Amino acid sequence: MSPLPQSTPSISRSLADIARQIKALFDEVDQVAREDFSRPVSTDVRVSGFSLTEPLNVLLNQVRARLVEKAETARLQQDALDELSKSRDEIENLRSLSAAIALAQTRDEIVELLRSTIRDKVIPFGGSALYQGSEELGFTLTGAWDTTEADAREIDRQKTAGFLQWVIRAHTTIAMPAEGKYPTAVYVPMNAGNQVIGILLLLTPRAVDEFTQSDQERVQMLCSQAAVALENARLVDQVLQMKQYNENILISLTSGLLAVDLDGRVTTLNPSGLSILNMAAPDILGRQLSEVPRLDSFARLLSDTISTGQDRRNIELELNFGEHRQILGVSASPILADQDRVIGALGIFTDLTPIKTLELQVRRSDRLAVVGQLAAGAAHEIRNPLSAIRGNIQLLNRKLQKLPEAEPLLVKTKSIIEEVDRINRIVAGMMDMSKDGALQLARVSINKVVRDVGYIVEGNYKEAGVGLEFVLDELLPDVQVDMAEMKQVFLNLYQNALQAMSTNGKLMVTTSRTVVGEGKDFVQVLVADTGAGIDEKHVEKIFAPFFTTKSDGTGLGLSIVHRIVEEHKGRITVESVVGKGTTFKVLLPAAPAGSAPPAPQVPASQTPAETAGG
């Protein structure tokens, strides 16, 4: 480096000139670098009439280099500003698209819009996949689109690499090198507020390092918008599901549920409730409960619940349906909003009527069973003194026969003997019926059975002023029956008939032979009364246990009849005309002719001692 020539004034002038120019340059450069990026910078420094020496050259080149650098930075800055404003427009554009995403309702719509917007406006991509979940519960693959087998493998591989977890934690979009057809896998977190609710994975042909900030920002913005929409859709879904769930509960509830608001207006009554109360929704929904006929006790219970704010459990309410009554079991509680504000009341109820009736019937049939046992014991006790009476009367009778003047008395003693025999038959019948266990089949004529049972009810019929007539086919084939059971059948039929008839009625019992189907021999018994008849809608129920229209009935009679007839491979049917009368038809298979010896005929006059214990 040679020293600067300093001797001549012109040199010093030139140096001053150069120094000025350099200073101006520095100023300009600083100016540019500091704020005014758009100004063109002159990089041309001229020194007139002077050959620059080495150090000055160095200085000038340094200045030039710095200048170029700064100008370069300034140009970058300017580009940045230009792009920034362009990108602001683009983002504005995207924003309107993302508004459409936010309006989409279902998950599929949202994801579809998101994917098509990204593809059209941001980056091309092939296969894509969506993971959904939460940071606490983890993420699972919930959808994949346009994925070839290779794409699917790559998506799987990416998942195991652990980038998903990183993105979930960092909440930022990343691009990772991929294997296979696409060089890059882009992970975009779907941020809803501060939470990641999903990750969209895109396989794209764009190389990892070709990504720009604007790409990242825009996919990120779209995905976050979609995330908010998804989250909203999920919440709406949840609410709907909750509502549906609640409605399902109401529908499947076998109990009735009735809710009223503070004014006592019915806001809810579930299907079971409607059917228990035997009402249609329009008759009651929205109406004042207290104005609904026969539900006033229910209304009172609920208004009490509202005013006291207290639960009431297992209350029995009696509703009056004209002559019909219904008993409800109700538990009532206030409906609370915000934990403590009463906004209504609800009652959950079941129909206790069948249970109550059943209870009553069970109680009554228990009582009947006890009576039956007592009667069997009593019958036994009665027969001993009875045979003593009969013996003595017979003795008396023989003596009287020898006294001609006692002739009129003989009529009396004969009558006494007949009556005693009748008592004997009744008692024997009762003892038969108290037997139980397996069928004890015996070959008998059905005529004898229907007649014998007649003796038992005769007295009651006479008392009621109702006639009892038998038309018996004397040539009937025998039947194989359990006497005790078969007597029950007719006893029940006779009793029902009597209960259905008023004075001057008449029961007609007819036996005959009939052939059913392919020449099968049957014995038919018609039990026809002239009573009230059976209401058409009851006909099919009368054989069901516990069906009764009588205030003191058990409803067991006909069900027992039915069971016994079936046990004997017989059939029972009914025909009835309301106001005219009812006819029960009992068919029993005839015993094969001569296949078994006839059951020992029990003569009506048989002494009690002979059958006792039989």
Partner 1 sequence: MVMEKSKIKELIAKIEKLPTLPVVVARINAMVQNPKTSAREVGAAIATDPSLSARVLKMVNSAYFGFPSQISSISHATTILGFNAIQNLALTATVFQLFRDNSGDELFDRRRFWEHSLGVGVLSRLLAEKTRYADKEEAFTAGLIHDVGKIVLDQFVHEEFKAVMGLVRANDMLLYEAESRLLGLNHANVAYIVSQKWNLPKKLQEPLAYHHAPGLSKYNPQLTGIVHLADILCRALKIGNGGDNKVPVLDKAAVADFKLNASDIEQLKNVSEKEIEKAEVFLEML
**Residues of the shown chain interacting with ligand ATP in the complex, contacts defined by CB under 6 A:** 492, 496-497, 500, 529, 531-534, 538, 542, 547-550, 553-559, 582
Q: What's the CA gap between 417 and 559, in Å, rounded?
A: 38
The CA–CA distances, whole Å, from 152 to 155, 189, 232, 510 equal: 5, 19, 29, 87
Q: What's the CA gap between 256 and 336, in Å, rounded?
A: 20
CB nearer to Mg ion: give 35 or 540: 540
Q: What is the 3-state secondary structure (H, E, C) of 524-560?
A: EEEEECCCCCCCHHHHCCCCCCCCCCCCCCCCCHHHH
CB nearer to partner 1: give 221 or 526: 221
199 is an interface residue for partner 1 by CB under 8 A: no
195 is an interface residue for partner 1 by CB under 8 A: no
Binding string, residues 242-261; x marks residues near Mg ion by CB under 5 A: --------------------
CB nearer to partner 1: give 161 or 370: 161
CB nearer to Mg ion: give 185 or 457: 457
- Which residues, numbered 4-63, are part of the site for partner 1 (CB under 8 A)? 33-34
Which of 453, 507, 428, 509 is CA-nearest to residue 476? 509
Please count the residues of this chain forming the interface with Mg ion, following the rule CB under 5 A: 2
The listed partner (ligand ATP, partner 1, Mg ion, none) that binds 549, CB under 5 to 8 Å by sort, is: ligand ATP
166 is an interface residue for partner 1 by CB under 8 A: yes
Binding string, residues 65-104; x marks residues near partner 1 by CB under 8 A: ----x--xx--xx-xxx-xx--x-----------------
496 is an interface residue for Mg ion by CB under 5 A: yes
- Binding partner 1 (rule: CB under 8 A), the pick from 146, 210, 419, 535 is 210
The listed partner (Mg ion, partner 1, ligand ATP, none) that binds 271, CB under 5 to 8 Å by sort, is: none
CA dihedral over 217, 218, 220, 221, signed as positive or negative: positive
- Binding Mg ion (rule: CB under 5 A), the pick from 557, 581, 589, 608 is 557
User: Which of the 8 DSSP states describes residue 477?
Assistant: P
The listed partner (Mg ion, partner 1, ligand ATP, none) that binds 544, CB under 5 to 8 Å by sort, is: none
CB nearer to partner 1: give 201 or 486: 201
CB nearer to partner 1: give 162 or 613: 162
560: number of Cβ within 10 Å? 17
Question: Which span (95-103, 461-469, 557-565, 602-610) binds Mg ion, by CB under 5 A?
Answer: 557-565
Which of 32, 127, 23, 20 is CA-nearest to residue 75? 32
Q: How far is the CB of 99 from partner 1 (least distance, A)?
A: 21
Axis-axis angle for helices 446-464, 407-433 (nearest 10): 110
Q: What is the 3-state secondary structure (H, E, C) of 273-300?
A: HHHHHCCCHHHHCCCEHHHCCCCHHHHH
The pair of three-digit structure tokens given for residue 322, joined into one six-digit string: 């004209």
Q: How far is the CB of 444 from ligand ATP (least distance, A)?
A: 24
CB-based burial of residue 509 (10 Å sphere; 0-12 exposed, 13-18 middle, 19+ buried)?
Answer: buried
> Which strands, in side-by-side order, build the sheet including 506-516?
467-471, 506-516, 520-528, 581-589, 571-577
Contacts of 426 (CB under 8 A, 6+ apart): 455, 456
Which of 161, 174, 231 is CA-nearest to residue 200? 174
Question: Which span (81-89, 243-251, 454-462, 491-499) binds Mg ion, by CB under 5 A?
Answer: 491-499
CB nearer to partner 1: give 69 or 311: 69
213 is an interface residue for partner 1 by CB under 8 A: yes
- Which residues, numbered 335-374, are part of the site for partner 1 (CB under 8 A)? none
- Binding partner 1 (rule: CB under 8 A), the pick from 194, 254, 503, 595 is 194
570 is an interface residue for Mg ion by CB under 5 A: no
Q: How far is the CB of 33 from partner 1 (least distance, A)?
A: 7
Contacts of 210 (CB under 8 A, 6+ apart): none
The listed partner (ligand ATP, partner 1, Mg ion, none) that binds 550, CB under 5 to 8 Å by sort, is: ligand ATP
Q: What's the CA gap between 514 and 589, in Å, rounded?
A: 10
Q: What's the CA gap between 148 and 517, in Å, rounded?
A: 73
- Binding partner 1 (rule: CB under 8 A), the pick from 3, 40, 49, 162 is 162
CB nearer to partner 1: give 224 or 303: 224
Pairing label, strands 506-516, 467-471:
parallel
136 is an interface residue for partner 1 by CB under 8 A: no
Point out which residues bind Mg ion (CB under 5 A).
496, 557
- Which residues make up the interface to partner 1 (CB under 8 A)? 33-34, 69, 72-73, 76-77, 79-81, 83-84, 87, 161-163, 165-166, 172, 174-177, 194, 208-214, 216-217
